[in-house]
Amino acid sequence: MMFFWVIVVLLIVAALLFIIPPLFQGEDESITTDRVKRDDLSIAVFKDQVAELERDLNSGTLSQEQFELAKQDIERELLESTQAEQAMQSGGDEIVSAMAAKASAWVIIIALPILTIAFYKSFGGGPEAFDPSLIQQQVSAEGHQGSDVEEMIVTLTQRLEANPDDAEGWAMLGRSYYFVQQYDTSAKAYENAIAKLSGESADLYADYADAQALANNRSLQGKPMDAVVRAIQIDPNHTKSLWLAGTGAYQAKDWQKTKQYWEHLLTLMPQGSENAQMIEANLSEVYQFMGQAAPQQSVTNTASVATVNGTVELDPAISADVSPDDVVFIFARAANGPRMPLAILRKQVRDLPMSFTLDDSMAMTPEMKMSNFSELVIGARVSKSGTAISQAGDIEGLSGTIRLSD
């Protein structure tokens, strides 16, 4: 027991060493100025980081999803920094005289040990203090408290109540609500940002359209489509808007518009990048709907043609999870290589079971065809969205590795 009290005394002394010295010292006159400079510096760094992310997005180094996640991380760091600075400033607005500071120090020196021992005697001395189950319950309860993002939303909301014309604040609030999947509220915040902004921003129109579409069960028809069209008028090379516009036209089965938006988007992507491959896969599907061959397919190739035949049928165990109108993609891709489909066929669940043939004539580019690879994997995917890009909720089955005969 004596050892315990020695530890208590040492901890009290350590606490006093941290608390007392600042109270005997005058406040550095540069602190207030430094706080303002730190706040301005945080905002400047934030803008530089966002600009760098946008350059990576436009160059194809980042996908749209990676860009959004990275941008949200930067915004979260800015908010945390702002909260910390506000807390520091609110505690430093009053000037305490040297005499009052010293008096406070002596009060703490006397009161802290007394209160510590009294508190332990009243609350900390029972067997509950060493009950592991109670400690675990406390940790578990703390883990279920509100998330940091929700706290940031509260801070932003309070800031906007004081300054409702802050367009950047509304945009950050829209991104925060988007992050917690409150898409309807996110869209409303973006609307306010657009209304308060002195000029026009393609980014804001695209972000609004994205959030509003998710609030509308992923439909881009109506206001979301109007917003992305306006974004493209502001910036004809805005990649996110071109992607959303093509998706909206696809949903409306306007294949000509879909082709127009996505072909232009493809010219902005680095050749061979992951984003370019996704766009090419979607365009290949659009060309099939239009009864057109992909532009690259006009190249004549006299080399041997690879062909794979097979049968696709639906597992009865998942029949209740799909609709007869759901789209089924049957595709071949390299067993060891890029994930871009080498050949793809579009059908519907109602067509199953069915026999299929995949060959080089279905290639999207002359370089990416089955005969250029010795080992393939054949897959079938039920797509709820109807697009060739795999999304959450899709059901996919893959074959083992298939070796093409020489």
pLDDT in tens, the chain (406 residues): 455 555 556 566 656 565 556 555 544 444 444 454 555 556 666 666 777 777 777 766 666 766 776 677 677 666 666 655 555 554 444 444 455 555 555 555 565 566 666 555 554 444 444 444 444 444 444 444 345 778 888 888 888 999 999 998 899 899 888 888 899 999 999 999 999 988 888 999 999 999 999 999 989 999 999 999 999 999 999 989 999 999 999 999 999 999 999 999 988 887 777 778 888 888 888 888 888 766 643 333 334 467 888 889 988 888 888 999 999 989 898 888 777 788 888 899 999 989 988 888 777 666 678 888 888 999 999 988 877 666 778 898 888 888 876 4
Q: Enter the pTM of the model.
A: 0.45
Q: How far apart are CA 41 and CA 45, in angstroms?
A: 6
Q: Which pLDDT score, from 0 to 100, does residue 392 have? A: 75
Q: Which pLDDT score, from 0 to 100, does residue 111 have? A: 59
Q: Which pLDDT score, from 0 to 100, does residue 249 have? A: 93
CB 360 within 8 A of CB 370: yes
Among all chains, which residue has been given the structure tokens 């801070």? 155
Q: How many CB atoms lie within 10 A of CB 197?
A: 15
Q: How far apart are CA 97 and CA 287, in angstroms?
A: 78
Q: Which pLDDT score, from 0 to 100, does residue 106 have? A: 58
Q: Which pLDDT score, from 0 to 100, does residue 234 have? A: 93
Q: Which pLDDT score, from 0 to 100, does residue 14 have? A: 59
End-to-end CA distance of the chain: 83
Q: Which pLDDT score, from 0 to 100, does residue 30 have? A: 44
The number of angstroms, rounded, from the C-alpha of 160 to the middle of its chain's C-alpha atoms is 24
Inter-CA distances, 253 with 256, 290, 291, 387, Å = 9, 10, 14, 12
Q: Which pLDDT score, from 0 to 100, does residue 272 have? A: 72
CB 282 within 8 A of CB 262: yes
Q: Which pLDDT score, from 0 to 100, does residue 364 have? A: 64
Q: Which pLDDT score, from 0 to 100, does residue 144 have? A: 41
Going by C-alpha positions, the residue among 148, 127, 128, 146 that lies closest to residue 136 is: 128
- Counting beta carbons within 10 angstroms of the beta carbon of residue 63, is it exposed (0 to 12), middle (13 to 18) or buried (19 or more)? middle
